[in-house]
Amino acid sequence: MGIRSMNEVGTQPEDVAQKLRDGMAKGVLSFPLTSLRDDGSLDLDAYRTYLTAQLANAPGMVFPACGTGEFFSLDEEEYRAVVRVTVEVADGRLPVVAGIGYGWSQALRFARIAQEEGADALLVLPHYLVGAPQDGLVEQLRRIAAGTRLPLIAYQRDQVTFSADTLRRIAGIPTVVGLKDGHSDLDRLQRLTLAAPDGFLFFNGAATAEMQARAYATVGVPAYSSAVHAFAPEIAKAFFTALRAGDDEATNKLLRDFYVPLVELRDRVPGYAVSLVKAAARLRGLPVGPVRAPLTDPSPADLADLEKVLDAGLNLVGAVRRVN
């Protein structure tokens, strides 16, 4: 049997959107790391091994080559390889949503690569460097949508913020099926959810999204991305299970003893939102390698603190640090 994509089952945007909706209900949104060698080159064999272990922990969707996967440092050939391996490992079991970004022409090149390699949908990362008016944000998505049949999830963070009127406009583009939010402005987000048509998808994309998962759920956005799943899927899965079960005691304990210390450590240095995740994965023996410049690996002191935080979290869920 050949490699399967979920798009083989349904290629219409509404069909894929339903697959995404089903995935949101099943588990966290997984954003895997991209495995690199010590010289910074892509290590596909290591990535395959790493991703196979990650997907064994039943995330609801997988998002290769996004922020955690260092999309910003991948060339087109590397991007193609990462998406291809992800589709092969997923093998139709869960949706594969590949990251695309930069200006619309570059984003469209990445989109076409992802489509060729069998991705199910695309996450449109914020454009590079400049600010843009609302009309420009709409035009960017229209141009990308015109060049690929894959459903698009818009992403607002940093310099990209959609108004309620703009949300209505982008939701009118047939292949735009959802929005990931990284601003954590719940008043604005509530306005967007109220402006959206029925069935439009929303995702909590805050940094260390578990910290705000309950708050997002109150405005109708229960699905969230999990960087923790990239290095400690046991913790991510335990939190997801406790949260969905309404187990406040277990949820609060994980937040207090693991997530809060992790966030405090993350906030020490710019770029640690990715660097710490990779370092934690290496502490567990996962074959992910270093980060690429301009990111830097954690200092020895911060790495020692990360070990303590990681061990505390793993102890809470009865897991061990080394996985191989």
**pLDDT(4) > 90:** no
Please write the tens of the pLDDT for every residue from 165-194. Answer: 999 999 999 999 999 999 999 999 999 999
For residue 32, cis peptide bond before it (omega within 30 degrees of 0) = no
pLDDT of residue 10: 46
Could you confirm whether 278 is annotated as catalytic?
no
Mean pLDDT of the chain: 95
Look at the chain and count its residues: 324
Query: If 0-12 CB within 10 Å is exposed, 13-18 middle and 19+ buried, where does residue 116 land?
Result: exposed
Residue 245 within a domain:
no
Please report which helix (H) or strand (E) contains residue 195, including its range.
helix 186-195
Catalytic residue among 50, 79, 155, 224: 155
CA 117/CA 207 separation, integer angstroms: 28
Give the pLDDT confidence score for residue 9 in this predicted structure.
44
CATH classification of the domain holding 31: 3.20.20.70
8 or 221, higher pLDDT: 221
111 lies in some domain = yes
Q: Which residues pair with 62 in a beta bridge?
A: 30, 96
pTM for this predicted structure: 0.94
Instruction: Give Cα separations from 89 to 1, 28, 219 (angstroms).
Output: 13, 18, 34
| Helix, strand, or coil (residue 14) | helix
Q: Are 156 and 202 in contact (CB under 8 A)?
A: no
Residue 76, both tokens: 């087109």
* pLDDT tens digits for range 226-283: 999 999 999 999 999 999 999 999 999 999 999 999 999 999 999 999 999 999 999 9
Mean pLDDT of 309-314: 98
121-141 mean pLDDT? 94
The residue type of 24 is: M
Confidence (pLDDT) at 200: 97
Q: Count CB neighbours of 158 within 10 A.
A: 12
Beta sheet of 29-30, edge-to-edge order: 61-62, 29-30, 225-226
**Is residue 276 in a domain?**
no
**Averaged over 95-112, what is the pLDDT?**
97
202-217 pLDDT, tens digit each: 999 999 999 999 999 9
Q: What is the pLDDT of residues 12-52, one digit of tens each?
A: 778 888 999 999 889 999 999 999 999 999 999 999 999 99
| DSSP-derived secondary structure for 117-157 | TT-SEEEEPPPSSS---HHHHHHHHHHHHHT--S-EEEEE-
C-alpha angle with apex 83: 44 to 276, nearest 5 degrees? 65
In the chain, the number of structural domains is 1
Classify residue 96 by its DSSP letter: B
Say what the pLDDT of residue 13 is. 79
Catalytic hit among 19, 50, 180, 224: 180
CA 183 remoteness from chain centre: 15
Domain coverage including residue 222 = 6-233
**Domain assignment present for 241:** no
- The pLDDT of residue 11 is 62
Q: Indicate the pairing of strand 29-30 with strand 176-181.
A: unpaired
| Strand, helix or coil for residue 42 | strand
Whether residue 301 is contained in a domain is answered as no
Catalytic site includes residue 237: no
Which one, of 88, 94, 146, lies nearest residue 117 by Cα? 88
pLDDT at site 85: 99
Residue-wise pLDDT for 47-67, tens only, equals: 999 999 999 998 999 999 999
Tell me whether residue 52 is in a domain: yes
Q: Is residue 239 part of a domain?
A: no
- Residue keyed to tokens 């990535």: 47
pLDDT recorded at residue 237: 95
